[in-house]
Each structure stands twice: as C-alpha cells, then as structure tokens.
Amino acid sequence: MSAAPFFIQPYRFDDPNPDDTGPTLDRHRAIVLDQGEEVLWRGRVTVAGYLTGQPGGQPERRWTLPRCADVTITDRRLAYVCDDWDLARVGGPRHRSVSVIGAPRPRRRPALGGGTRVATGQILWQWPWRLHLLPAPGPQGVLIVCDSMRSNRRPALMLSGGVAGDGRELALTVRRTISRFRLTNPDIVELSPRDRDALQLRAGTALLLDELTDPQRGVSLPGGLPVEFVNRDDYYHPAPVQQSWGLAGDGPA
C-alpha cells in the first residue's frame, strides 16, 4: 500500500525528513534506481491524476502538472519528475494543499539556494488494477488505474502527449511490464492459475487493442494490491461530471 496513493509529492533537497513513499532523486533531479533495476522506457509526457467511480460513471480529474514531466518506466515501477512546478496551479483553485490530493504535507525547512520545487511520484507494479488507452473524442492518453480499499473510487494516473504520441506503444509497454513483474515475483503478489494464464497473455505480444481502447472495459491486470487513501476527502468528496467518457467496474476484461 502507498501512503500517497495519488502518486505525487513535493520534493525538496534541503528536507531533513523526506517522505519515503516516493522515488528518490539525485542532485541532478534524476530518479535513483534500486540495485538491479532496469530502465525500459523514458520520455517527457503530460501527467494528471484522476479518480474513477462507479461502473460507467464519469472520472474526476483531481490534478494536472503544469508542464511535461520526465517519466521513467523500469521493470519494477513507473516514476516521474516535474521541475519548477507551481503548487497553486495543480488541481485548480479548489485545492488548498498537497494533502487534498492524497499526499501528506511534510514539515520543511526554508529553501536553500534557488528553492526550486520538484514534484515526484511513482506507481509500483504491484498496484495497478486496470489499464486503458483512451481515444478521441475526450481526453486521450494512457490511464493506469489502481484499486482502493474501503471505496469504489479508484486513483488513476494519466500519461498523455509528448513522446507518448497516440499512447499505444506506451500502453503496451506498461501492460507487458506489469504482467512480467507479477509473473516473476510470486512473493509480492498472489496469483491463481487463472490469473497466471491471463497475465501470460498480457505479458506476450498480443495487442489486445479491442479491450485496451474500449473506455468501458480496458485491460484487467490480475493480482493488483489495493492502495489506501490517506485523506478523508479522497474517499468522500463528491465527484463532479467533468469528462465525457466513463470507465468500467469489476467486470472481466
């Protein structure tokens, strides 16, 4: 589980007690890889956070980073870094603090030097529950949906634009990487024989584009571990209708 299920937190290099739920950065603001971790994809794309709701319902966009982020996909996770971001512009004027979008507000010392703020976040491959490639009309991009505890509202990360292009290559990379991670890490996720069969298909060369590009269906990712919201608002805040597309519930893909 994650202490910041919306996959975002401010990062300050002068912070004596940085949060341990996000990626670690070096002094060049690059993701620090774990020992043996392999990079599979890198690129600059637009990053936004959504909440999905009831089957067929409308998702709610909760925040958008004001500029493209550097996204790194490895054999263990997806992580991103966005330099020099403006907190007041993330998620619109309704959000008064980072805690509203799922991350705790850390205690920080005054900035040293220029005090540039950096937004970071990650999704570990044991979390995602479903994957969508959203076509036009409406918002286009790759939507990675995680399951949640005690709620039908699920946090999701949208990647779009930039080098992602139409998102097809990126979506296939994410789907295959998640599936291979779960198949090779049985100590992290529990899989039934049926789950393993489904993941074997998703880890291979099959495109599964009919499911992937269907916003009401998407591709299921068996074995995902649910995340837990930290902020009460993320469980109970009403989701206004902001988009023209809906997402499926628990039906099979």
Query: Is 1 inside a domain boundary?
Result: no
- State both tokens at 182: 């779960």
Query: Is 245 inside a domain boundary?
Result: no
DSSP designation for 31: B
Tell me what pLDDT residue 213 has: 75
Please state whether 84 falls in left (phi above 0), alpha (psi between -120 and 50) or beta: left
Query: Residue 249's pLDDT band (boundaries 50, 70, 90)?
Result: very low
Any idea how long the chain is? 253
pTM, two decimal places: 0.78
Tell me what pLDDT residue 199 has: 96
Closest Cα to residue 161, out of 136, 179, 195?
A: 136
pLDDT at 252 over 90: no
Tell me what pLDDT residue 106 has: 33
Query: Is 189 inside a domain boundary?
Result: yes
Domain that holds residue 36: 9-236
Give CA–CA dist 1/230, Å, rounded. 11
Query: Is 241 inside a domain boundary?
Result: no
Query: Residue 36's pLDDT band (boundaries 50, 70, 90)?
Result: very high
Query: Is 249 inside a domain boundary?
Result: no
Tell me what pLDDT residue 96 has: 26
pLDDT at 198 over 50: yes
- State both tokens at 45: 């794309």
Average pLDDT over residues 29-36: 92
Query: Is 251 inside a domain boundary?
Result: no
The neighbour count for residue 14, using CB atoms within 10 Å, is 12
Query: Is 107 inside a domain boundary?
Result: yes
**What angle (nearest 5°) sits at the alpha carbon of residue 167, between those of residues 4 and 235?**
25
Q: What CATH number should be reported for the domain holding residue 117?
A: 2.30.29.30
Asked whether the beta carbons of 84 and 65 are under 8 A apart, the reply is no
Average pLDDT over the chain, rounded to whole? Answer: 74
Instruction: Please name the amino acid found at residue 47.
Output: V
- State both tokens at 104: 């705790």
Expressed in percent and rounded to 5, the helix, strand and coil fractions of the chain are 20, 25, 55
What is the number of structural domains in the chain? 1
SS3 label, residue 30: coil
Query: Is 250 inside a domain boundary?
Result: no
Asked whether the beta carbons of 67 and 108 are under 8 A apart, the reply is no
Tell me what pLDDT residue 117 has: 74
